Amino acid sequence: MIENIKFLDLFIPGPVNVSKDCREKMILPIIAHRSPEMGNLHKDITSYLQKLLFTQNDIIMSTSSSTGYMEAAIRNCVGEKGVLNVINGAFAERWYDIAKANGKEADMLEIPWGKAVDRKTLNEALDQKEYDAVCITHNETSTGVMTPLKDIYKTVKDHNCLLLVDSVSGAGGIEARIDDWEIDVFFFGLQKCMALSPGLAVGSVSKQALEKAVTIPNRGLYFDFIDLKKYHDKNGMQPATPVIPIYYQLQYQLHKIIDEEGIENRWARHTIMADYTRNWAKNKGLSLFADEHVASNTVTCIESKGIHVSKLKADLMKKGYFFSEGYGKFKESNFRIAHMGDRTLEEVKKYLKTIDDLTQ
């Protein structure tokens, strides 16, 4: 029963805590999905998402988790030439698996975990073979690596490829300038840096990506960008019934981010929390898993050296926190501190002090 759930402070890299005022938006009455009210809500949200992402590209929303959007990007943008998947962590690997599962020609460009791809490595891979698209994970949640898109987007464009970016744990917390960086598909879920409930994935899709989609047969039905855009253009509708309560939350949160906090201030707050966490780890004699110059500003992955990760997790739970160990094969050897969403530096300090007290 729901009454028996113990609600913990989520210090994990998503889903994260949702503020009371955002949660309260979910209890508003449901409106009809083909009503003018829904159209207005959709249009307001998409115009604010364009501001959030610094783009004029179309915004396409998907009532699904972000994995659905990963599939959408592949189905709509990868044709006969195939895709190059840059792989430096578990979520990048998942994207490659999705490409294969959809019967696409996919190659891996493997980068050691903890590092980000650089221009030279990418250039060499793209010189060897032609591709329709390149998939890059902006913020690899499994390793705490932030790939500097600004440094590499030109290399992708010079090779006439579409640039597809998973920013699931980055968008809303780290810099993203879609038009300046010529990103064709850029998507994210709301349960991470946007600090909202899970269930809706959103993204921007360029004209070139839509032009490519038209040429690709068997794009499927639910994630077909062309159909989604057709409905979007028709008074801001969706082909299927969308997750309406999350639209209420998203509109509220976007107005708060853009009109009150300011997106660049939000990025700056994430940088401050990340710097504090990185320094805390180093002062404790611990090492960062990621190369420091590409370390993420939304999640810090730390080598656990001397810290018993599962015991720490159990101890923190008793204090009311949900802690994040390392991802997959790094479960015991790493742990992750998420500093994303509406988190404050004060909350991060308090959490890290609690870890200090428990690991003396």
Ligand X SMILES: Cc1ncc(COP(=O)(O)O)c(C=O)c1O
Q: Is the Cβ of residue 97 or residue 130 nearer to ligand X in the bound state?
A: 97
Q: Per-residue contact track with ligand X, 168 to 187, x per CB under 6 A?
A: xx------------------
CA dihedral 296, 298, 303, 309 (to 10 degrees): -160
Chosen residue from 19, 65, 235, 354 binding ligand X by CB under 6 A: 65
Contact 29, 153 (CB under 8 A): no
Contact 225, 72 (CB under 8 A): yes
Q: What is the rounded distance in angstroms from the CA atom of residue 90 to the CA atom of residue 70?
A: 14
Q: Is the Cβ of residue 84 or residue 168 nearer to ligand X in the bound state?
A: 168
Residue 330 binding ligand X, by CB under 6 A: no
**If phi over 0 gives left and psi between -120 and 50 gives alpha, with beta otherwise, what is residue 166?**
beta
Residue 166 binding ligand X, by CB under 6 A: yes
- Interhelix angle for 149-158 vs 119-128, to 10°? 20
Options 113-121, 166-174, 213-221, 333-341: segment touching ligand X (CB under 6 A): 166-174
Q: Is the Cβ of residue 165 or residue 237 nearer to ligand X in the bound state?
A: 165
Residue 298 binding ligand X, by CB under 6 A: no
Q: Is the Cβ of residue 106 or residue 237 nearer to ligand X in the bound state?
A: 106
Residue 14 binding ligand X, by CB under 6 A: yes
Residue 67 binding ligand X, by CB under 6 A: yes
Count of positions (residues) in the chain: 360
Residue 221 makes CB contacts below 8 A (sequence gap 6+) with 227
Q: How far is the CB of 279 from ligand X (least distance, A)?
A: 24
Contact 133, 163 (CB under 8 A): yes
Q: How far is the CB of 167 from ligand X (least distance, A)?
A: 8
Residue 326 binding ligand X, by CB under 6 A: no
Neighbouring C-alpha atoms within 13 Å toward the C-beta of 341: 25
Q: How many residues bind ligand X (CB under 6 A)?
A: 11
Q: Is the Cβ of residue 52 or residue 237 nearer to ligand X in the bound state?
A: 52
**Residue closest to 326 by CA, chosen among 13, 88, 29:** 13
Options 16-24, 28-36, 60-68, 344-352: segment touching ligand X (CB under 6 A): 60-68
How far, CA to CA in Å, does 218 sit from each of 75, 153, 224, 225, 283?
8, 28, 9, 12, 54
Q: What is the rounded distance in angstroms from the CA atom of residue 196 to the CA atom of residue 245?
A: 11
Q: Per-residue contact track with ligand X, 119 to 158, x per CB under 6 A?
A: ------------------x---x-----------------
Options 59-67, 208-216, 257-265, 268-276: segment touching ligand X (CB under 6 A): 59-67
**Contact residues for ligand X (CB under 6 A)?**
14, 65-67, 91, 137, 141, 166, 168-169, 189
